C-alpha cells in the first residue's frame, strides 16, 4: 500500500481583515466622503443615518459581471535558486530595522542591533525578532499592549530558536528550499486574499512588516517538513489491515458526535517549567479572545506539527482523543475556544471549528426567510467608496474587499465598525424591513441568506454595497458521513509522522546549546 506522500503541506499565512481592507482600498478611497445613495427610482438621495429617512436600496440598473483582469506578475525574488535561506552567524550584523507600526517598544531591545539568543553558535538577532514581531502584529489582527509585546517577544524568540535548530538539521540532511517553493506559498496567500503579489508586499510594508520576514518563516516551515519526511516517511508503513481496523473504529463511532478541531500545543519539556508554560498558554488564549486569528497564532506558537497547517487536526469523534480534551469538547459550541488544558506532553488550546451529529441524524435546515415581527428582517447597510465613474478594475477591487468583509461577517456591529477602518465608508441601520418593500434584486440576494449572515455584495450608484442581517445566527447542523479508505490511510500516516516529528524536535532541543542574551 506504499505510495509517495508528503507531510501535510503548510497552508499559507492569512492576513487579518483590517490589513487586507487597508491595502485593497488605499487606492479606492476618495478625499470627499460619499454623499449620496441610490433611491428606488435609480436617482440619488442623501444618505441618512436612521431608518426613518433611509431610501430603499437599488443596485445599478445594469450591473455587469466583474470582468476578469489579469493578476500582476509577482516580482522576482532576489535569492539564489535552489539554496535555502542562509542562517546568520554571530559575526553578521543585520541592518537596523525599526518596526514603524509597533509604537510601544518590547523592552529596550527595539532600537538595538545585537543578539537576542544563540543556538549552537548560530545567532538569533534582535533584528530578526523585531521583524517577526512586526509580522505577527501585521497578520494577527491583535492590538498588543506593552505587556503583551514583552510576552510575545519571548515566545517569538523561542520560536526562532526552534527554527534555527530545524534549519541546522535540514542543512545536515542536505535539504534545500528553492525560492520558487516560497514564492508559490506567497502567491497562494495573495490569491486566497484576492491580492496581487505587489499588493501583498505593500500591505505588509504598510503594517510595519516585510516580505523578507515572511519568507524566512515560510522557508523554515518548508525545510522542517522536508526534513521530517526525509527522516521518517520511509519508516512508516500503513497496511491494509491498519486501514480496515481504523474504518471499523470509525463505524463504531458513527453514532457519536464528531468534531472538526484546531489545536495549539505548548510543550512542557521539564516538569519544573509547568507553571511558566501554563502562563504562556493563558497569554495565547488571551490573544485569541481579543480577536487574533487562531490559524495565525497556531502557526506562530504551536509546537505540534499541525502548526504548519494552522493547527488543523481534522475530524475526531467523541472518545477518540484524551479524556480531558474530550470532556472539554462536549461542553463547547462551534466557534468556541477552550482555556489551556493540561494533557500528555503539555497544554492544549482547542478550537471547535464545526460539529457533526451522529450518522443518520435528521437535520433541520436553518430558516432563510424573515425572522422579525410581521414578516420583517432587521437589516444594516455598508457602502464602500469606489469614486465617481469607477473603472471595471476599481469595481472588482471593491467587490473583493466586500467579499472579505462578508466572509468574516459576525453581525451588524461588525459593519458599524467598518467606517473607522475604511476611509469614506458609510454605515446605516435600516431597522425592520419588509422584503416586499425592497428592490427585487435585493430581495433575491436576501432570500439566499440565513440568520446572522450578509448578502452577496453588489455595485450600485453609491459604491459597493453589503446588506447584513442583524438577527441571531442559527447554528447549522450536519450529520456525520464515513471517510473513504484513502482518507483514512492518509490520516494514519500523518498521525504517525506527527508523533515522530515531535520526538525529533524534542531530541534536537535536548542536545542543543542555547543561550538567551
pLDDT band at 476; cut points 50, 70, 90: low
pLDDT band at 295; cut points 50, 70, 90: confident
What pLDDT is recorded for position 20? Answer: 40
Q: How many CB atoms lie within 10 A of CB 404?
A: 19
Lowest mean pLDDT, pick from 53-67, 100-114, 480-494: 53-67
Overall average pLDDT of the 205-212 stretch: 81
Rounded distance between C-alpha atoms, residue 149 and residue 134, angstroms: 10
Nearest to 439 by CA among 92, 17, 42, 14: 42
pLDDT band at 309; cut points 50, 70, 90: confident
Instruction: Please tell me which of 109-123, 161-175, 176-190, 246-260 the model is most confident about, judged by mean pLDDT.
Output: 161-175
What pLDDT is recorded for position 475? Answer: 61
Report which of residues 494 and 508 the model is more confident about.
Answer: 508
First to last CA, the chain: 50
Residue 211 has pLDDT above 80, yes or no: yes
The mean pLDDT of the chain is 75
Rounded distance between C-alpha atoms, residue 144 and residue 146, angstroms: 7
What pLDDT is recorded for position 343? Answer: 93
What pLDDT is recorded for position 362? Answer: 62
pLDDT in tens, 429-455: 998 888 788 888 888 888 888 888 899
What pLDDT is recorded for position 146? Answer: 80
pLDDT in tens, 355-368: 888 766 665 555 55
Q: How many CB atoms lie within 10 A of CB 242?
A: 16
What pLDDT is recorded for position 294? Answer: 87
Which residue reads 486574499 in cell numbers? 193
pLDDT more than 70, % of the chain: 72
Report which of residues 390 and 94 the model is more confident about.
Answer: 390
pLDDT band at 100; cut points 50, 70, 90: very low
Write the secondary structure of 21-55 as one string of H (helix), E (strand) and C (coil).
HHHHHCCCCCCCCCCEEECCCCCEEECCCCHHHCC
What pLDDT is recorded for position 141? Answer: 60
What pLDDT is recorded for position 410? Answer: 84
**Centroid of chain to Cα 478:** 24
What pLDDT is recorded for position 507? Answer: 93
What pTM value is reported for the model? Answer: 0.55
Report which of residues 387 and 173 the model is more confident about.
Answer: 173
pLDDT band at 134; cut points 50, 70, 90: confident
Overall average pLDDT of the 86-96 stretch: 34
Residue 133 has pLDDT above 80, yes or no: yes
What pLDDT is recorded for position 383? Answer: 94
Give yes or no for a contact between 264 and 301, defined as CB atoms under 8 angstroms apart.
yes
- Residue 508, C-alpha cell as written in the block: 534536537
Residue 282 to residues 97, 159, 285, 296, 344: CA-CA distances in angstroms?
A: 30, 17, 5, 16, 18
Collapsing DSSP states into helix, strand and coil, what is residue 123? strand
The DSSP 8-state label assigned to residue 376 in this structure reads E
pLDDT band at 289; cut points 50, 70, 90: confident
What pLDDT is recorded for position 347? Answer: 96
Residue 95: φ, ψ to 5°: -65, 140
Q: Are strands 44-46 and 36-38 parallel, antiparallel or unpaired?
A: antiparallel
Overall average pLDDT of the 249-274 stretch: 87
What pLDDT is recorded for position 194? Answer: 66
What pLDDT is recorded for position 337? Answer: 93
Overall average pLDDT of the 307-316 stretch: 82
Residue 380 has pLDDT above 90, yes or no: yes
Instruction: Give the residues across from 381 on adjacent strands.
Output: 428, 467
pLDDT more than 90, % of the chain: 26
- Longest C-alpha distance within the chain, in Å? 75
Overall average pLDDT of the 146-156 stretch: 83
What pLDDT is recorded for position 351? Answer: 94
What pLDDT is recorded for position 104? Answer: 32
User: Which domains, and CATH codes, for the chain?
Assistant: 1-31+81-252+485-517 (1.10.4030.10), 32-62+366-469 (3.10.50.40), 255-363 (3.10.50.40)
pLDDT band at 339; cut points 50, 70, 90: very high
Residue 395 has pLDDT above 70, yes or no: yes
User: Would you say how long the chain is, in residues?
Assistant: 517
Residue 82 has pLDDT above 70, yes or no: no
Instruction: Give the residues across from 85 on adjacent strands.
Output: none
Amino acid at each position: 500500500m506504499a505510495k509517495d506522500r508528503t507531510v501535510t503541506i503548510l497552508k499559507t499565512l492569512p492576513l487579518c481583515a483590517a490589513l487586507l481592507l487597508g491595502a485593497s482600498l488605499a487606492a479606492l478611497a476618495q478625499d470627499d466622503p460619499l454623499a449620496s445613495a441610490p433611491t428606488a427610482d435609480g436617482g440619488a438621495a442623501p444618505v441618512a443615518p436612521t431608518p426613518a429617512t433611509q431610501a430603499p436600496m437599488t443596485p445599478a440598473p445594469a450591473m455587469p459581471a466583474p470582468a476578469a483582469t489579469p493578476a500582476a506578475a509577482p516580482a522576482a525574488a532576489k535569492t539564489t535558486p535552489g539554496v535555502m535561506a542562509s542562517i546568520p552567524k554571530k559575526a553578521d550584523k543585520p541592518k537596523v530595522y525599526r518596526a514603524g507600526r509597533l509604537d510601544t517598544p518590547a523592552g529596550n531591545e527595539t532600537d538595538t542591533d545585537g543578539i537576542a539568543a544563540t543556538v549552537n553558535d548560530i545567532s538569533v538577532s534582535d533584528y530578526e525578532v523585531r521583524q517577526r514581531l512586526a509580522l505577527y502584529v501585521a497578520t494577527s489582527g491583535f492590538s498588543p499592549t506593552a505587556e503583551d509585546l514583552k510576552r510575545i517577544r519571548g515566545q517569538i524568540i523561542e520560536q526562532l530558536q526552534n527554527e534555527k535548530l530545524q534549519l541546522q538539521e535540514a542543512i545536515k540532511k542536505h535539504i534545500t528550499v528553492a525560492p520558487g517553493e516560497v514564492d508559490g506559498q506567497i502567491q497562494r496567500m495573495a490569491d486566497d486574499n484576492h491580492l496581487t503579489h505587489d499588493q501583498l508586499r505593500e500591505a505588509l510594508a504598510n503594517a510595519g512588516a516585510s516580505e523578507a520576514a515572511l519568507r524566512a518563516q515560510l522557508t523554515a516551515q518548508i525545510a522542517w517538513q522536508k526534513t521530517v519526511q526525509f527522516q521518517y516517511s520511509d519508516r512508516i508503513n500503513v497496511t491494509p489491515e491498519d486501514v480496515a481496523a481504523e474504518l471499523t473504529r470509525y463505524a463504531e463511532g458513527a453514532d457519536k458526535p464528531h468534531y472538526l478541531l484546531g489545536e495549539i500545543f505548548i510543550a512542557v519539556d521539564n516538569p519544573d517549567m509547568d507553571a511558566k508554560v501554563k502562563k504562556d498558554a493563558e497569554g495565547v488564549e488571551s490573544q485569541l479572545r481579543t480577536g487574533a486569528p487562531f490559524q495565525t497564532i497556531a502557526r506562530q506558537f504551536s509546537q505540534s506539527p499541525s502548526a504548519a497547517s494552522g493547527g488543523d487536526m481534522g475530524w475526531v469523534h467523541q472518545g477518540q482523543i484524551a479524556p480531558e480534551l474530550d470532556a472539554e469538547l462536549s461542553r463547547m459550541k462551534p466557534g468556541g475556544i477552550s482555556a489551556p488544558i493540561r494533557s500528555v506532553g503539555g497544554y492544549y488550546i482547542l478550537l471547535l471549528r464545526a460539529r457533526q451529529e451522529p450518522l443518520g441524524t435528521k437535520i433541520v435546515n436553518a430558516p432563510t426567510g424573515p425572522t422579525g415581527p410581521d414578516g420583517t428582517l432587521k437589516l444594516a447597510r455598508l457602502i464602500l467608496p469606489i469614486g465617481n465613474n469607477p473603472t471595471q478594475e476599481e469595481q472588482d477591487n471593491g467587490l473583493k474587499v466586500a467579499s472579505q468583509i462578508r466572509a468574516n461577517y459576525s453581525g451588524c456591529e461588525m459593519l458599524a465598525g467598518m467606517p473607522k477602518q475604511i476611509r469614506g465608508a458609510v454605515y446605516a441601520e435600516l431597522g425592520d424591513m419588509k422584503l416586499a418593500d425592497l428592490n427585487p434584486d435585493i430581495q433575491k440576494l436576501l432570500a439566499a441568506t440565513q440568520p446572522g449572515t450578509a448578502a452577496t455584495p453588489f455595485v450600485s450608484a453609491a459604491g459597493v454595497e453589503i446588506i447584513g442581517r442583524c438577527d441571531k445566527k442559527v447554528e447549522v447542523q450536519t450529520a456525520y458521513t464515513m471517510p473513504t479508505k484513502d482518507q483514512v490511510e492518509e490520516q494514519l500516516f500523518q498521525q504517525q509522522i506527527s508523533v515522530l516529528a515531535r520526538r525529533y524536535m524534542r531530541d534536537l532541543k535536548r542536545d542543543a546549546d542555547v543561550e538567551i542574551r
